[in-house]
Chains A and B, each alone.
Chain A
């Protein structure tokens, strides 16, 4: 297992350096003077320009600059936002819980509905339910989620007036963040109605973000289940007289879950991509909206830092999924 871990790490490390290289090159590929971009100052004098060149190290050879950048990263310095003058890492830390909360809720919705839907569809293959689930899943997979979010706003916020249009909680409530998760913080604050308000703000964005993972999980569960159901050991279990619930719940499901877990792990990248759109539509103050806003504000050092941090998180989660997978399924860690 340790060897397997080392092997995975051996793949991840060069990739991580590649990612830092992309983030490093990004800011140097932008059209315009890098010093002006980084400093965000207008009408600076020649001396100030030269001084800043030296401060940012742009006067040094490119390799030295890259080394300097890596050294900064190693010290946990991901740059300073041009607009807010705050360290990028701090901004990221304050906004990150909002994205995690949204993504977790979306993932819970996706698994909670996708897994049973795929399972039942597989056991009743060819039935009306099966066709409905598969058509729905394909539609969900094909969904432009930014439009889907707007539709839900029209219907639930506009026509029915059930949910608010944007934000994480009503402005009527204020409390210091403890965990950064609004659902938990609102409960801890003990203010009446705070939790309900948080839920009503969260529900639509979570549904929108859950759509694609839900479709993928339902499809994957169905196909994994169908494959397992045709295996000999399932036939054996049936032949020895086990009830269908026991066969499906105990024998089939456990084996069908292995590929499904991988797929769930792989959705982390999808969730981040979806968060960019979902957070923009619902003005959800998370990482996705922050990245889009930073691009529009030309706050390129925030974009650079955010890009690197997001890639690092996605890679870390994928590594964790790989390790978990190797733990569940010994075959994996002994092959390749």
Chain B
């Protein structure tokens, strides 16, 4: 989906100066914009590192995430007195290795981000397309529902939805997806409405292109730029919200090594063992920060109109 947008941009450029076409050229073009932003590149590399850690968790992690070492309860990280290299970042209250749990935890965070973004993107884009394309009562109906969802503070609604569905990681993801998708609907609708007035859409209609094809094949690819940026940003929000729900005991349940759930378990030890609280938070913060940096870079590269600075 990235390609189509960039291809459009490239196509416009190519009419001016005859640059080589093809997928490689598209990537080069994109990279030249993206790499201007040093923070974005750093974010990208960090994000790739997190993905690698998640994929190869069972190879990297020194121990199993739920393996308990009864001889090492609340052992500090190796550089403090009482710590040793067996548990680089120390252990938690029931003797589980912090580092291993953090490494396995990255799987959950990425999984949450992927699922939430996929659900809210697909549903949101379809609803937004329908609203922007058909207008009239369809539009009013869809947008009023979205207004209702937006009237609630997002975390509160997610919390209540989880209370209805029952606390679990899957239900937390569904709730967060529901809470997030109005943003996709609004963005898609606005983009579709702009595109609808353009000549190429009129031309396609005159040729006799059917509604469904017009929506999905003609218009949608040209609305992708803001959606990709939104997807990146909501990936990070999803991780944050899921961690918050986990922290409140409404997300992933112990002993899952999800970062927010780890923090919830660590709460009672905050004044005794700083490491059980500090490291999961750093993991959440750095991952979310990396994705947000990347999102900023994507925005600058894909859509100069959205460029904020």
Contact = CB atoms under 8 A, between A and B. Distances in A.
B164 interface: yes
Given A154-B277, A158-B271, A223-B309, A138 B296 contact: yes
Given A31-B166, A273-B155, A310-B156, A142 B147 contact: no
B292 A138 contact: yes
Contacts of B277: 147, 150-151, 154
Interface stretch (A18-26, A50-58, A81-89, A200-208): A18-26
Contact of A142 (B151, B285, B308): B285
Contact of A19 (B151, B163, B250, B293): B151
Contact of A14 (B144, B154, B249, B271): B144
Q: Among the interface residues B151, B247, B278, B288, which one has the most CB atoms of the partner chain A within 10 A? A: B151
B278 A151 contact: yes
Interface size class of B (residues with CB under 8 A): 35 or more
Contact of B156 (A16, A30, A125, A273): A273
Given A15-B144, A144-B244, A150 B156 contact: no
Interface residues of A, number: 52
Contacts, number: 135
B109 to A, nearest CB: 11
A139 interface: yes
B263 A276 contact: no
Contacts of B72: none
A303 interface: yes
Interface string A48-81: 0000000000000000000000000000000000
A30 B240 CA distance: 26
A222 interface: yes
A315 B147 CA distance: 10
Contacts of A30: 163-164
Given A31-B164, A146-B247, A272-B156, 4 more contacts: A14-B144, A142-B292, A270-B153, A273-B153
Q: List the 4 closest A-B pairs by CB distance, nearest first.
A: A147-B281, A18-B148, A273-B155, A272-B153
